[in-house]
Amino acid sequence: MSRFLRTAAAVSTAVVAVGLLAGCAETEQKAVPTLPERICWGGAFAGGDVAPLLPPGDQAEFSRLAGRPFVLTEDIDSQTCTLYIDGRTRFQAVADFQEFEDAVDWSSWDSADPEPLDVGDKGIVWDTGAASYFTCEPAKNPKSPGQYIELRISLSDPPDTSKLQAALPELMKDFMTFAQRELKCGGGSAGR
């Protein structure tokens, strides 16, 4: 009887090991879904720059707002591009129009221990994201409104945070260049 139990235990162990190895093989074979050449608002980011920062999955899908033109006005004071992988948010880029510079507030990221980011007028970077802003049109005095554009990028479950940390400054520069061009900020107009 003990010979039967030993054989049964050995067979059970082998079946479990094969199942675990098969599960690992499936996970290793999954890749990041293919992204378009340019993503978010018709081209804010290169898909090839974002893809290596994403976790693997079967299907990538963008929020329906990601395909709209990039415009910030009194009626549309925020733009968001969200990339879902298998139904979960994995990449998000947000642009907000602020009339006053002191409305740019990143205190909610204090617990993430952000470091300064030398992009735009001021920026910060943390383990899974970055934020920056630039002046499109400065206020004429402290009580009058200006045009300040706040940009944020965040990623969820990146496979390699050190690779993400190295990539975030360039992604933010690309985002800022795109926003300045689309909003014609060189001439002092933020789409108004």
The pLDDT tens digits of the residues spanning 106-134 come to 999 999 899 999 999 999 999 999 999 99
Residue 50 buriedness (CB in 10 A; 0-12 / 13-18 / 19+): buried
What does the pLDDT look like over 68-96, one tens digit per residue?
Answer: 889 987 678 999 999 999 999 999 999 99
- If we measure between CA atoms, which residue out of 123, 180, 155, 178 comes closest to residue 52? 155
Write down the pTM of the prediction: 0.80
Is a pLDDT exceeding 80 seen at residue 10? Answer: no
Residues in a beta bridge with 137? 147
Is a pLDDT exceeding 50 seen at residue 137? Answer: yes
Q: What is the DSSP letter of 190?
A: S
- If we measure between CA atoms, which residue out of 108, 114, 125, 116 comes closest to residue 172? 125
| Confidence band, pLDDT 50/70/90 cuts, at residue 28 | low
